[in-house]
Structure formats: structure tokens, C-alpha cells
Amino acid sequence: MNRNRTLLTILAVTAALALAACGSDSAPKSGAPASAGADGSWQATLQQARGQTVRWWMYGGDDKINSYVDDDVAAALAKFGVTLKRVPVTDTADAVKRVVAERRAGKTSGGGVDVIWINGENFASGKKAGLWLKSWSQTLPNAKAYVDDRDPSISTDFQVPVAGQESPWQRAAFVYAYDRAKVSNPPTSLDALLAYAKAHPGRFTYPAPPDFTGSAFVRQVVAAKGEDAGFAYLRALKPYMYRKGESFPKSQAELDTMFGDGQVDFSMAYDSSFVNVGVRRGTFPKTARPLLIGQGALSNTSYVTIPANAAHVAGAKVLANVLLDPGLQALKADPNVLGNPTVLDRSKLGARAPEFDRATGSNPYLLKDFGVPVAEFSADRVEPLEKRWTRDILR
Amino acid sequence: MPDTRLRRSAGVLLAAFFALPLAVLVVRAFADSWRAPALVPQHFGLRGIREAFSGIALDAFANSLVVAVIVTAIAVAVGWPAARVLGERRLRRPGAVFVVLAMPLLVPSYATGNGLTEWLLRLNLADSITGLVLAHLVLVLPYVIVVLLSAFGPRVTVLEDMARSLGLTPLQRWRWVTLPAVAPTLAAATFLGFLVSWSEYGSSLAVGGGRELLPVILLPFVRSDPQIASALALLFLAPAIAALGLAARAARSPL
Amino acid sequence: MDTRHPALAAPTTPGPAAAVVGRDAARARVRRQRRRDRVALAPALAIVVTVFGGALLGALHASVTPLSATASAGATLDSWRALFADPAFLDSIAFTVKLAVVTTLAATGCALAVALMLRSRGTALRALASLPVPVPHLLVAVTAVLWLAPGGLADRILGGLPLELVRDRYGIGIVLVYVYKETPFLVLLLLAAMGRGLAEREEAAAVLGASPAQRLRWVVWPTVRGPLVIGAIVVCAFVLGAFEVPLTVGPNYPLTLAEYASQATQNDVLTGESLAAAALLFTAVIAIALAVIAVRFAKDPQGA
């Protein structure tokens, strides 16, 4: 009895402490941090950044990107006296959750996340909650020199204005893969895809939304045909799909394995170099080739953002600037390295343009032409489309 | 009595059934490509192994090992007395105490992950070794207690009383009577507790302060890159399997 | 009631006065023992209650206050309401509970059989049979896909599988993977409990004329019952709350509760966080309820 009372007391004290601490769960007083950025001088930023260690939380499942960051980016950053620490995550949401927890705990400075590789809904919802540092990306020297900020694919992220809260890094295009040894005449439009599925039932599928890739496929269909006609198309497609559309892969990785094992004839990804990567990893046969379906590929840009409470804001800005360095961007665009199209505006490159010419070496696993890029949807249309898919197609 | 030879081969088949499917991980680690319909990988290579023995992976291995050993040691030290009290059924309400102590095992860790991060942030412990150890401990301690408590009970108490009446000192009783009596379950509890910390991903990422830890390095590769994932898995499993062997041995032979 | 406690064994001194003194001494001993017990439990309780309690309160708080730019949005039951209004969530509950019960029963049954078969075998075989224990669930699931998916190894060896085991509508694949992973864990607990002295006691019973079935019921079962119930509670709670295995081998619909929660955060991390917290706290309630039932069911010496 005494002991139970002790137990209850411990519980009550803990509850009281927690609730008291919880009371301070309010938004920070102002969006602008006290230090770096207030004086606007890049030199001052460089001075402040010297000696800092920047923690960059980014997807860690691609060894080539990892070594590009660990070797090339880190070396470039070291020239400014900044150390780079890459924190691998499985999903960008993991990084956002840490920032959210810091916000709930009332931690308005000295945060544990300095930079996040982010875009789309993660960025949009963070922006709504005021999680990101404001009005800094347009002040970067490399951004002013080489980035075309009137390009809507740069200045809006899923149609949400970037507002200087994130700095561009990579471009992505939604492409498909097929096996040249099995399919000699791949479909190049959605209607041709439907015809192919009818002629070869069970040989096509896509990941179930809300998986990122599956969701993007649904958006491509809706972008091409409109929402109701698009869903009519998906319904028409369903009975000719793998397993008659009764079950879908839950991730792009699963679809890739199915494609590699010959269970289906196509794969897809929101990564223009995914065929290159798949062959490198041995998941795809060497006869795999990238494919464009439709007039143009659904495109987006991914960025790096700085949480408003980051501990090393100056170092983070220097990192974002370094990522826009033409030398590093050219290396990234090199088909033998990563093969990602650059976010820089070629017309502004001037003397540095030749570095990008070597990036047109031929690589059969990379598409040269993405057609007329299809702009992404508004971030708040994404979830309703996914919900509609679950209602109309899955069940 | 069933035929001994049948029994023996049944035992071997069982062991094979549980062990063999995992042997495929070894092959996958060395397979540059292994697609259907091939029974044997199309190409062998060291891409996965190179990644598994890179500086970052080895740092992660060392960090995870240190954390897991510290956490397990604390968990056993703190958990042993609690397990003893629960196991010997001296409490008026053992069920309530059991449920409170077992709560971290009953609530999905995915649920309290963010809450734990926030709490440790408020306590100013996030990103420190103390915070990381506490975050792991809160999962390992219940596991150790819950497994260890079934080792204690009248049987052990009776043996200890006999030893006491024979004139053994408390230390001697502990070394020669209690410890051997609970050794198999203690080994299982220690091993399982170690595994929980060794495999812990959520809190290692959220409050690890960017420290390299093996599950954090391994997980992003698991579905995207099976070769690297398998190679890292071998690195991950090596100490775990060694600990398993020790635990299995302790269940049989006297200390 | 307390007479099973050695400290309360009545002293054999004669005479009423001496008996009163004896009783007082016994009560004092009990009080000392209770104080020692409290001290023994204190550190463990302190750690769990303060660290985990804080985390749990944080999760509860998150489930009723979705984060937004406006500071005091105030506590709201919106997330909870949205949850229970969603038929997919209700289907999830049913699916997950069924899965947990089937898996736990299957795993405990298999574990009992396996432990009985392996109890007289050597370290090597026991270690091999326990190999799945150190392998994380996600790796086991991925290995299962490598073997059992269409185009997987079993398919390549046998030329085709008769059943759909991966992404099938009933979740058979999920049950198989969990049973494969959890049976060795339970076997580990059982073999540890059987470790000391069971063989001798069984032999003694056999010498006294007990049949194998009687030995099982009266010698083996009381020894393993405690760890088996505890192991079952741990397994059941785990299956209720984990998502890696269903994510890898489970059907698209219905989803398990944990998958439902993780999908809620895939779009809008902020509002989704609230939904996910609510869903998983509900899962915890189910797990705790099942644990309490199991603890009540197993109220016997030598065990929970």
C-alpha cells in the first residue's frame, strides 16, 4: 500500500512536470534568427561559418550520392573551414520529425538539424508551420550568379512559392524503364500503354499511392487527361495489370525488383538516372533502357532547406552555396558520376559552361531529352488524389 | 519413447529450417546481380563488402557496440533486483507493477518515438550519450526484467535458504547457488537486451546527434540496394550471432 | 496468504507470550523485506516512469494538438474523431488484432513443439535453430520476399509456387514471417526455463511411474508456462504495433494499424503526426488490455 502510494506519487510528479513543461509549447517569437543573415554580408557569413560542423540530414540509401557528398562536397566545403557531417535518413520525414519535436519542446536555437534535402509536401507543411529559415536562398552568391529564379520550376516547389526558404540542388524527371531484350517497341504514350497492357495482361503495375512513385504516376495520368478522365483510365487499366490489379507493390524498390526479375515489363521512378542506378546495383539487366511516356516528363526540383532553429546557420548557407558551384553541379550531371540534370541556368554559366559539355557523354541508361516538362501539382492536391485513388481504384 | 534416430533427424531438420534461409544473405552480399530465373548469382563482386568495411560502417559498428554494452550492463544491474521482486511474487499487486514496467514493450515504439525525442529535448539530454543511453535503456530494461523474472521463484529461494542454513555467506550464496540457478535465463535476458539496443533505429536517429550507428547506416539500404544491405547485415550479425552462441551455451552447461 | 513466504514460517517456540513475540518479530521481518523490495524496484520504476512516461505524455499531447503556425490552436479531438470516422482504420483494427492473435497462438504452439524436440540437443543445434532471433524483422521480411515472392528462389527452384504468399489478401505471408521470426525467440525463453534440473525432475517422475503425457502436464508445463505467457505477451504486443513486415509482405488493403499510422505521416508530416500518434496510442491500449488479461490468466507461482 505504501509502495503503491509511492508509485502513484512518482506518476503524479512526472505528469505534473510534463504538463508544466508542455505549457511552453508555443511558436517562436519571430521567424528571423538573431544572428547570421541580419547583416546580409556574405563575408560575415563565411567568417561565422569557419570552424562549424554542418549536420546535413539526407536520404542515405544510394551509395553513389553518399560518396559524392562525403568526398566531393565535403572537400569543397572544407576549403571554407566548414566540416560536413552527413546524417543518413530513410525518409525525409524523419528529419522533419526531429525539427517538429524541437519546436514542440520550445527549442528555438541550437537545433540538431542544420540542413535537410527536401521538397514537395514535406517542405510545404514545414513552411506552413514556420519551421524553415526565411529569405536566405536568394542571397547566396552562386544563386545570384547562376540560378534563374524566374524559372517557375525553381521558384516554386509543387506550386508552393519557395520564398527564399530553400535552395535548389537537383532536378528530377519521372521516367520509365523497359527491357530492350523483351520489349522491342515500347509504348510512348499513356494510350499506347493501355493498349500494351490489353495485349499483354499482367505485365504492368505501379506502386500503390501514397507511395511517392505511385502517387507521381497517378499525377502524370491526371495531368495528361484531367482528373475524372484520368481515373477512368486507371480503372480501365486495372484488370490488365499484374495480378489483375488486386495487389500492388508498396514501394518503388519492390517494383524495381519485380521488373528485374521479369515479373513485369516496366518500372518507373521519379529519378531520371534510376535505370543507370538500377543497372549499377545489379537490380536491372544490362539491356534495360529508360523510356519517356507522354509528351514530356513530370518534373520537379529538390532543394536544401535550413530549419529556423538550426545551430549552424552560417555553415549551412555556405553548404547550400557550395552545392550550386558549377564544378560540383557539372560533376553531378556527368553521366559517369550521377547523371542528374543541373539546376543551374546554362545561359548564365559563361566561362564555366565548358565544364558541362563533358556531361553530355553518352550513357544508354540516361535519357537526353525529357520533352516538354510537365509541372508538378499544387502540394495540397496531392493528398486528395491519393485518397481518391484508394477509394476508386484500390477498393 | 519415439525412435531416437527419428528424433535426432527431426532436430537437425528444424535447425536447418530456421538457419538455412538466412544463409542466402551471405550469398546476396557477394552478388553483384542475382535476378530471376538464376539459381546462382549472375555476377559476383565486392561492391557490397567494400561498403560494409568503409570507415563510416566500421565507426558505426564501434559506436553501436559501445552503446549496446553500456545499456545492457545498466539494464541487467537495475533489472536484476526488480526481476527478483516480481519473480518471487512478494508483491500485493504484481500485475500492476508488471504492466508498468512492461509498458515500453506494449506501446509501439513508433508511437512514442517523437514524444521521447521531445521529452529528451526538454530535459536537455538529446544528442548526448546520456540521452542516447536512456533512450535505449527504456526499451532494453523492460525486456531484461520481463525475461529474467521467470528465473526467480520458490525453487531458487529454497536453494538459497538451504545454502544460508549451511553457513554460506551472501556472496558465496550468490556465486555458487543463485547465479548458476538463473544462468540460462540470465544469459537469454542479457542476449535479448543487447539485441534490442544493437538493432534500435528510431531513437538512434532522432537523438543520436548524428553519431554513426549501425542500424541508422543499414536501414536506408535495405530495400533500395540488397547487395549493400546484405553486406552490412553480415557486419551487423557477426557480434549478434557470437552473443547467441554464448547464450545457447550458457543454457546448457554449468558455469 | 503470506504463509508461502519463508520469512513468515512460524517459529516453533512454545508458550503464548513467546508466540506473540514471535509474531511481532515476523511482522518486523516482513516490513524490512517490503522496504528492501521497494528499494529493489525503485531504480527500474524510476527510469521507466520518468523517461517513458514523459514520452507517452508527449505522444498523447501530439495526438490532441496538431502542430501549426498559429501558437495555441488548443487541444482538439479532431484527430481521434477523424480516425474513428475512417472505415479503413476500423478495418485495420480488425485485421491487426486477428493477425496478432493468430500469430501468437501459432508461434507459441510451434515454440513448445520445437523446444521439446530440442531440449536434449547440443549447443550447436540450438544456436542454429535460434538464428532468426538476432536478425532484424525487416531483414527477415526481405529475405522472405527473396524466397517466397513470385520470381523468388522458391519459385526458381520449384518452378512455381501453388500459393500466393506475398501480398496475399489474408496476410498469410505476414503470419509466416512472424512465426518464423518469433518461434526461435520463444524457444530461447523456453529452453532457458527448462535449462536447469528439468531433465532430472522428469527422470524422477518417470521412475515414479509417470507416463510421457503425465510428465508433460505435471513436470514440464509448470516450468515453461510462465516464460511462455510472458513471451506470448511480448510477441502479441509486437505484432500489434510493428509495420516493417506487413509493409514488405502484407496486402494493400486492409493495412495493419502501424502501417496505417505510417501512411498518415507520408503526406503532411505535421497533421499526419497527430493522426499517427492517435492510431498508435489506440494500438497500445489494445496491447495493454491483452497483457492485463494474460497476466490475470496466469496468476500462479513461478511466472507472471
3-state secondary structure string across chain A: CHHHHHHHHHHHHHHHHHHHHHCCCCCCCCCCCCCCCCCCCHHHHHHHHCCCEEEEEEECCCHHHHHHHHHHHHHHHHCCCCEEEEEEECCHHHHHHHHHHHHHCCCCCCECCCEEEECHHHHHHHHHCCCECCCCHHHCHHHHHHCCCCCHHHHEECCEECCCCEEEEEEEECEEEEECCCCCCCCCCHHHHHHHHHHCCCCCCCCCCCCHHHHHHHHHHHHHHCHHHHHHHHHHHHHHCHHHHCCCCCCHHHHHHHHHCCCCCEEEECCCCHHHHHHHHCCCCCCEEEECCCCECEEEEEEEECECCECCHHHHHHHHHHHCCHHHHHHHHCCCCCCCCCCCCHHHCHHHCHHHHHHHCCCCCCCCCCECCECCCCHHHHHHHHHHHHHHHHC
DSSP H/E element including C101: helix C87-118
Q: Rounded to an integer, what distance in angstroms lies between the CA atom of residue C66 and that of residue C82?
A: 13
Q: Which positions in chain B touch C142 (Cβ < 8 Å)?
A: 222-223, 226, 229
**pLDDT score, position A15:** 54
- The set of residues, in sequence order, having a beta carbon less than 8 Å from that of A332 and lying 6+ positions away, is A68, A170, A338, A340, A342
CATH code for residues A175-296+373-394:
3.40.190.10
Is the predicted pLDDT of residue C7 greater than 50, yes or no? no
**pLDDT score, position A38:** 42
Residue C15: pLDDT band with limits 50, 70, 90 = low
**pLDDT score, position A26:** 41
Residue C12: pLDDT band with limits 50, 70, 90 = low
Task: Look at A104 and B118 and tell me if their CB atoms are within 8 Å.
Answer: yes
Q: Around Cβ A38, how many Cβ atoms within 10 Å?
A: 10
Q: Are B148 and B82 in contact (CB under 8 A)?
A: no
Q: Kindly tell me the number of DSSP H helices and DSSP E strands found in chain B.
A: 13, 2
**CB-closest option in A55, A97, A263 to B114:** A97
Is the predicted pLDDT of residue A32 greater than 70, yes or no? no
Residue A5: pLDDT band with limits 50, 70, 90 = low
Is the predicted pLDDT of residue C68 greater than 60, yes or no? yes
Rounded to 5 degrees, what are φ and ψ at C13? -80, 140
**pLDDT score, position A12:** 54
Task: Look at C273 and A262 and tell me if their CB atoms are within 8 Å.
Answer: no
Residue A76: pLDDT band with limits 50, 70, 90 = very high
Chain A: list its partners (3+ Cβ pairs within 8 Å).
Answer: B, C
- Interface check C57 vs B, CB under 8 A: yes
**pLDDT score, position C155:** 87
From the list B166, B156, B102, the residue with the least C-alpha distance to C195 is B156
**pLDDT score, position B228:** 94
Span A126-169, pLDDT tens digits: 999 999 999 999 999 999 999 998 998 899 998 899 999 999 99
**pLDDT score, position C70:** 47
Task: Look at B100 and A7 and tell me if their CB atoms are within 8 Å.
Answer: yes
C-alpha cell at B210: 548524428
DSSP 8-state symbol, C255: P
- Interface check C237 vs B, CB under 8 A: yes
Mean pLDDT of chain B: 91
**pLDDT score, position C303:** 40
Is the predicted pLDDT of residue B254 greater than 70, yes or no? no
Is the predicted pLDDT of residue A357 greater than 50, yes or no? yes
Is the predicted pLDDT of residue C304 greater than 50, yes or no? no
What does the pLDDT average to over A180-188? Answer: 94
**CB-closest option in C37, C71, C88 to A26:** C71
**pLDDT score, position B95:** 85
- The set of residues, in sequence order, having a beta carbon less than 8 Å from that of A120 and lying 6+ positions away, is A157, A158, A300, A376, A379, A382
What does the pLDDT average to over A176-205? Answer: 95
Q: Rounded to an integer, what distance in angstroms lies between the CA atom of residue C123 and that of residue C191?
A: 11
> B-side interface with A, Cβ within 8 Å?
31-37, 42-43, 51, 56, 91-93, 96-97, 100, 113-114, 117-119, 121-122, 126-127, 205-206, 209-210, 216-217, 219-221, 223-228
- Give the ipTM of the model, two decimals please: 0.92
Q: Which positions in chain B touch C276 (Cβ < 8 Å)?
A: 110-111
What does the pLDDT average to over B16-43? Answer: 91
**pLDDT score, position B122:** 94
Our CA-based measurement puts residue B61 at a distance from the nearest CA of chain A, in whole angstroms, of 15
Task: Look at A97 and C269 and tell me if their CB atoms are within 8 Å.
Answer: yes
Q: Are A315 and A52 in contact (CB under 8 A)?
A: yes
- The set of residues, in sequence order, having a beta carbon less than 8 Å from that of B162 and lying 6+ positions away, is none
Q: Rounded to an integer, what distance in angstroms lies between the CA atom of residue A114 and that of residue B235?
A: 30
Q: Rounded to an integer, what distance in angstroms lies between the CA atom of residue A145 and that of residue A349?
A: 8
Task: Look at C234 and B146 and tell me if their CB atoms are within 8 Å.
Answer: yes
Is the predicted pLDDT of residue A62 greater than 90, yes or no? yes
Is the predicted pLDDT of residue C221 greater than 70, yes or no? yes
What does the pLDDT average to over C54-75? Answer: 76
Task: Look at C269 and A246 and tell me if their CB atoms are within 8 Å.
Answer: no
Q: What SS3 state is found at B103?
A: helix
**pLDDT score, position C73:** 53
Rounded to 5 degrees, what are φ and ψ at C70? -75, 130
Q: Do domains A40-171+300-360 and A175-296+373-394 have the same CATH topology?
A: yes
The pLDDT > 70 percentage for chain A reads 89
What does the pLDDT average to over B43-66? Answer: 93
What does the pLDDT average to over A188-192? Answer: 95
Of A347-356, B115-124, B207-216, the poorest mean pLDDT is in A347-356
Interface with B, mutate which of A22, A67, A71, A87 (most B CBs under 10 A) = A87
C-alpha cell at A171: 532536378
**pLDDT score, position A33:** 42
Is the predicted pLDDT of residue A1 greater than 50, yes or no? no
**pLDDT score, position C169:** 86
What does the pLDDT average to over B144-166? Answer: 92
Residue with grid cell 527431426, as numbered in its chain: B10
What does the pLDDT average to over C145-151? Answer: 89
CATH code for residues A40-171+300-360:
3.40.190.10
What does the pLDDT average to over B26-50? Answer: 91
Of A102-111, B110-119, C5-14, C188-197, the poorest mean pLDDT is in C5-14
**pLDDT score, position A110:** 92
Residue with grid cell 481515373, as numbered in its chain: A231
**pLDDT score, position B69:** 97
**pLDDT score, position A68:** 95
Q: Rounded to an integer, what distance in angstroms lies between the CA atom of residue B128 and that of residue C182?
A: 33
Is the predicted pLDDT of residue A88 greater than 90, yes or no? yes
Is the predicted pLDDT of residue A36 greater than 90, yes or no? no
Q: Are A193 and A275 in contact (CB under 8 A)?
A: no
Q: CA nearest A93 in C: which residue?
A: C269
Structural domains in chain B, sorted by start? 58-250 (1.10.3720.10)
Residue B3: pLDDT band with limits 50, 70, 90 = low
Q: Are C183 and C239 in contact (CB under 8 A)?
A: no
Cα–Cα distances (Å) from C139 to A262, B139, C35, in that order, read 23, 20, 46
Of A180-184, A255-259, B232-236, C32-36, the poorest mean pLDDT is in C32-36
Our CA-based measurement puts residue A208 at a distance from the nearest CA of chain C, in whole angstroms, of 8
Q: Which positions in chain A touch C268 (Cβ < 8 Å)?
A: 121, 125, 383
What does the pLDDT average to over C261-282? Answer: 86
What does the pLDDT average to over C20-26? Answer: 83
Is B211 or A32 the better-scoring residue by pLDDT?
B211
List chain A domain ranges.
Answer: 40-171+300-360, 175-296+373-394
Q: CA nearest A286 in B: which residue?
A: B33
